[in-house]
Amino acid sequence: MEPNNKVAIVTGSARGLGRAIAARLADDGINVACWDLNLEGAQETAKQVEAKRVKAAAFKVDTSCAEDIAKAIAQTREQLGAITILVNNAAISPFKKFMDIDEAAWDQTMAINLKGPFLCCQAAIPDMLQAGWGRIINISSSSAQTGAKSMAHYVASKGGVIGFTKALALEYAETGITVNNVPPNFVNTEGLREAPVDVEAFAKTTPMKRTGEPRNIAAAVAFLASDDADYITGHTLSVNGGRYSN
């Protein structure tokens, strides 16, 4: 597709879901700013995006740090233009039994998974308000819908993302900005393969008997970022192979 004037920020785009989302948005002609703590990975994603004949830029960003975000927002505007799409994907997925979760682990999870989207939204929304058009897509988690053992801090943070999405959607419903979230379930990424989970065995317990693929999440994000989704806001678009129905 021919490039357009839309600019998307995709956080956590050095690999996995973030990389797939960035590439899928590029397929729709959207210019992409790739944000991640892993600059080398973000740069590789940006190269893949540019190969699709759109503009891209990569920035090293700690999305739990307001100073980092302010700097990256300014650089994104300078290199690509005003921000019209924000995908809050950056997150950590720690496993730890509840009584072993210390305050530092709890705070770190909340800072990255919940405070990060809050800070990024505050930084990006002014551009969207000025344009009278914006799309915010938060990546939550099916674990916030079903619960998950040994992940209380992660589940709590992602449950917060779902609630945050609904509140923000109502606040900005009249402005042309939509706010939605996508909770993936058991998607075949590097992060899943690194987790203390028997991937093949667990996949057999799911309705479709297989893992999801990053492209499945990316397609959902691309739809919510499109003009076709202009009457959808505050929505949880579950992409989980039938594991949870809502």
In order of 92, 154, 162, the CA distances from 143 in angstroms are 13, 8, 11
Angle at 155 between CA 152 and CA 156, to 5 degrees: 85
3-state secondary structure of 25: helix
Residue with tokens 């770190």: 108
How many helices (H) and strands (E) the chain has is answered by 10, 6
Active-site residue identified among 154, 172, 231, 244: 154
Query: How many CB atoms within 10 Å of residue 231?
Result: 6
The residue type at 181:
N
Helix boundaries (H) for the chain: 16-27, 39-50, 66-79, 103-110, 116-131, 143-146, 152-171, 190-194, 199-203, 214-224
154 is catalytic: yes
d(CA 175, CA 168): 11
Query: How many CB atoms within 10 Å of residue 229?
Result: 17
Torsion of CA 166, 135, 139, 30, to 10 degrees: 170
Residue with tokens 């479709």: 208
The residue type at 244:
Y
Catalytic residue numbers? 154
